[in-house]
Chain A
Amino acid sequence: MLALVVTAPLADSDVGQPSRLQELLAGEVLFHAHQKDYLSAITHLQLAREQGMTSRRPIDSDVLLTRLKLAFGLHEEARLALHAQLSQKAPESVRNRAWYELAKSLFHKGYLEAAMNALDSIQGKVPEDILGDHQLLHAHLLMALHRDGDAATVLETWKGPVALKGYAHYNRGIALVRVEKYQDAIDSLTEVLSLRGKKEESLALKDKANLSLGYAYLRSDNLEQAQAHFKQIRLQSPFSNRALLAMGWIAKEQGRGRDALAPWTELSNRTLADPAVQESMLAVPFVHRELRSFGAAAQHYVEAVIALSQEIHRLDGAVNSLQEAGALNSLLSEQSQSGTGPVSALGSAPNYPASRYLGSLLASRIFLETSRGHSDLLSMSENLEYGLKNIDRLTESVRATPAPKRQLSTVSDFGRSGSKPNGPAPRPRAAGNVTRSAPPSVNTWAADSRSLGGTVPSSRGIPFLPEVGLPPERAVETPPRSGGSSFPQSEVIGFPESEVISLPESEVIWLPKSEWIRRPDTGRFRFPKSDYRDSPYLDAMSRDGSRLKPPRRSTTRYRGSRAALPTAADGEATGKALEDLASNMGHATERMDKVVRGLGPEETRGRGLEHRLAVLRERILRLHDRVATVIVLYEDYARTLAVDELQRRQSHVEHYLEQARLELAKTYDLAAGR
C-alpha cells in the first residue's frame, strides 16, 4: 500500500523532475517499509527531507512520514498530523487511504470514537484495493458502538476481494442476529457455507458460521435446523464444545432426554477448562436424575464435585504461576508472534498452567495490543543497548582517530592549488585506497544488529593515509623546531624531498598530526627580520601554481650562513631569486593560514563530536531506564488481565461446584424419597 503513496503522487507533482539519487533515496524508504522496518524507513525519510533529497512534494512526503509513524505505533501524533496535512492539497486517494489506516490503527487500539471520526473524514472515492477492508472496518466499528443495524446496511453492499467475502457475510449475519432479523441473518450466514475453501482458516470460519446459524435457528425456534447446523461443526474444532452442549439442550427441549446424554457425555470427557464442559458435568447427572437413575446421577455429581474442586485448585496454581516472569513473558511473546485470530491463539497457546484457561484472553484485542506493546518495548530496549555500544565505539573512534585524519575543505583547496590540472591520476594503492567501512545499514542502529554483527562501524578506525606517501618522521609528535641554520621542520613538512620536484597529485591531502597540532604560535610562518634575507625559503610552488625547480645546490647555498651568501657578483640572478623567494614566502604563508583556519575548527570539532556523543549517550541511558520501567508496567498490566480472567473463571467454577453440591444433596434426598 505504501508503494502507491511513494509512486503515485509523482505524477501530479508540482516539483521539478527528481534526480536519480532522490528516487533512489525514496526507494530506500520503501525498501524498509515493505519489510515492516518502519523505524529505518522513518529515519531515512527524515534524513532525506532534512537534506532536501526527497523526490516528492512536501505534502506527499509529510503524509508518507505520518503514515510510517502510524505504522510504527505513533497513532496520536499521526492523528493530529493527518488532520493538519490532509486539509491541504493531498490527492484524494492518498487522503482516503491515510484516513483508513488511521481509523484501523485507532480501532485496534480501542479508540472507537476517534476511529469513527477518521472514517467519517473519508470523502469521495475510496481506493479500490482497500474498498472491501474499509467496509469491513466500518461495520466492525459500528458493531462495537452497538449500531448493528447500520453495520448490516454497510455490509449489504459489500464489494471486495474473494478472500474477505466470507468475513463480510459472517459479520453481516451476526449484526442481523443482534437486531433480531433472524431470517436475513440466516441467509447471510448461509452464504458463508457456500464459499469454497479447504484451508483451516475457511474451515474454521464455516464452523463458526454453523454455530451462529444454529443459535439463530434456536432463537427462531427452529430446533431441527439448529441441530442440523450444529452437527456440521467438526468435532476437533474449538467451537465443537458449544455445539455439543447446544445439541444436548435441543434433545432435552424436544423431550429426548436420553438422546441428550450422548453429546453431553462426549463433552464431559473433554478438558474441563472450557465452561461448556463444566456445564456438561452438571447436565449429565441432571438427565440421569430426570430418568430417575439416582445412583448414576449421584455418582456423576460426586465426580463433578471432585473434578470441579480439582479445577479450582488448578486455577489457583495457574494464578500463582503467573507470578513467575517466565510464564508471563512466554504468554506475551507467544501472542505477539502468533496470528491474531482466536483459532491461532488457541492453537498456539504455550504449555504453561495458565495458558489452557487464557485462550479467549490471548485472542482478545486488548491482550494482543498489550503483547505487541511489550514486544516493541523489549525490541526498543535491545536496540538502545546496541545503540549504547555504538556510541561507545564511535566515542573511541573519535578519541583514537586524530582530527587531521578527517577531511578539511581548506586543505583540499590547498592541495588543488598545487596539483597539475591535467596530471595523471594517482595510482591506486594496494591497501587503503578504498577504505573499508561499516555495512550499509549503519545509519540505523535498529537494523544494525543483523548487518553489523558487532564490528566497529568506523572507517575512521583505519588510518586513512594520504595518497602521497609521507616519510616516517612526519608522523612524529614532537613539534618541529628550527635548528641552527636549517629551516624549521614545519616549513618543509608535507613536502617530502621527492615532492620538491613532483607535486602532490591528490586534491585531498591528509596531514599528519605534527602538521596541525604543533603550529607556530604566531599563526604565520615568518623568520626574524634580520635573518629574512639570510634564510630564504623556496616554496615548492610558485604563485601561479607551477613548480619552481631551483637547483639543489642553490638551495643548499641559501641555507648557509651570512658569510656563505652570494655576493654582488651574483648580481641580478640573486636579486630575482630573492624576489621570487619573498613572493613564494608570502604565498606559503597564505596557504598555511588556510590550513590553520581549517584546522582550528577541526580540533574543536573533535571535542564537539565527543560532546555530542556524550549527550546522545545520556539520552539513550535515560530512555533505556524509562523503557525498562514501562516494560514492568506492561507486564504488571498483562498479569492483571490474566489474573482477572483466571479469577473470573474460578468464580464460575466455584458457582458450578456449589451447584453440584446442592444437586448432589437434592439427589440424595430424592433417592431417599424425601
Chain B
Amino acid sequence: MYCAAQAEDKANFGWLGSSFRARIRRMAIARLALSVSAWCVMLIVPELSPATAEQPNSYHGYFRLDREIQTLKKEFLDINRDLSLLEEELLYAPDQKLLVFVTVTRDSPFSPSHVKIVMDGEMLIHHLYTGGEINALRQGGVHRLYVGEVARGDHALQVYLTGTEIEGRDFQRKKTKNFFRRTGPTYVELRIGEKASTEGLEFSIDVW
C-alpha cells in the first residue's frame, strides 16, 4: 500500500533533476492509481479471514505474526528499491555506464563455469558460476556480470570462458572484441550458444 511518509520523503527532494522529479511524479501517480485500485478491490474482495472452525487456537497467534511480517517485508522491498536507485545514481554516470551480460541459449549443450574479462590489458572481472546460477542461465536467465564505467574511446575486450559440455567435456575459449565507446551507456552481451559445426562452441560478444 502507498505510504504517505515515503511520499513526503521523496517530495522533499526538490533539488533533484527534473527527470528524476518527473519519475517521482510518475511513480506517485502510479502508486496512487494502484492505491485507488487496491481500495476498490478491497471493497469487493472479502478480507483475508484466518479463522476457520477447524483451525486450532494456536493459528490465531500465527496470523497476527503473519500480518506483521508482511508489513515488514513490504517496507524492506521499498527500502531495497530506493537503495538500489540511489546506488545506481551515485555509483555510475549514465553516460559512461558499462554493463556486461551473460546469456546462454536455451538447450545449449554448454554450461559456463568461469568467465574472466580483461579490458585494455587490465582485469575487469571474473566470476565462478554456482550450480544454481548455471541452471538459471540455462532456463533463460540473464546474468548481469559487471556494472561499471568506461571512458570514451577505443577499448579491447578479452573474454576467457571455461565450462563443460553436456557430454562432460571441459571447454575453454578466448575471444577478443575491439570497440569504440561513444556517448551513452555501453552494453556488452556474452552469448553462449549452440554448437557450431566448425568451431564447436558458438560464443559471441555483442557490443552496442
Contacts and interface: CB of A to CB of B under 8 A. Distances in A.
Contacts of A30: 136, 139-142
Nearest to B16: A608
Residue from A434, A435, A641 with most neighbouring chain B CB atoms (10 Å): A434
A83 interface: yes
A547 interface: no
A630 interface: yes
Contacts of B61: 637, 640
A84 B37 contact: yes
Nearest to B6: A619
Contacts of A582: none
A377 B68 CA distance: 11
Chain B, interface residues (CB within 8 Å), range: 35 or more
Given A74-B74, A369-B62, A434-B120, A605 B15 contact: yes
B142 A380 contact: no
B73 interface: yes
A112 B68 contact: no
A80 B49 contact: no
Interface stretch (B39-47, B165-173, B197-205): B39-47
B183 A507 contact: yes
Interface string B141-155: 111111111111111
A31 B70 contact: no
A110 B59 contact: yes
Interface string B90-105: 1111111010110100
B92 A459 contact: yes
B65 interface: yes
Chain A, interface residues (CB within 8 Å), range: 35 or more
A384 to B, nearest CB: 8
Interface in A20-40: 20-21, 23-28, 30-35, 39
Interface string B117-154: 00110101101000011011101111111111111111
A438 interface: yes
Interface in B80-118: 80-96, 98, 100-101, 103
B36 to A, nearest CB: 10
Contacts of A459: 91-92, 148-149
Contacts of A47: 81, 84-85, 88
22 contacts: A26-B142, A27-B103, A30-B139, A35-B133, A47-B81, A74-B70, A75-B70, A80-B38, A110-B63, A111-B48, A112-B54, A145-B52, A366-B62, A370-B65, A428-B120, A434-B122, A445-B83, A459-B149, A507-B152, A605-B15, A609-B86, A611-B12
B95 A442 contact: no
Interface string A61-91: 0000000010011111101110110000000
Interface string A587-618: 00000000000000100110111011101100
Instruction: State the majority secondary structure of interface residues on A.
Output: helix
Given A30-B142, A459-B149, A437 B92 contact: yes
A456 to B, nearest CB: 10
B150 A434 contact: yes
B92 A467 contact: no
B68 A630 contact: yes
Contact of B96 (A72, A114, A370, A407): A407
A391 interface: yes
Contacts of A3: 139-140
Contacts of B66: 109, 369, 373
A464 B149 contact: yes
- 8 smallest A-B Cβ distances: which pairs? A27-B142, A31-B141, A437-B148, A34-B136, A407-B93, A435-B149, A440-B144, A425-B153
B140 A6 contact: yes
A129 interface: no
Interface in B19-45: 23, 26-27, 37-38, 40-42, 44-45
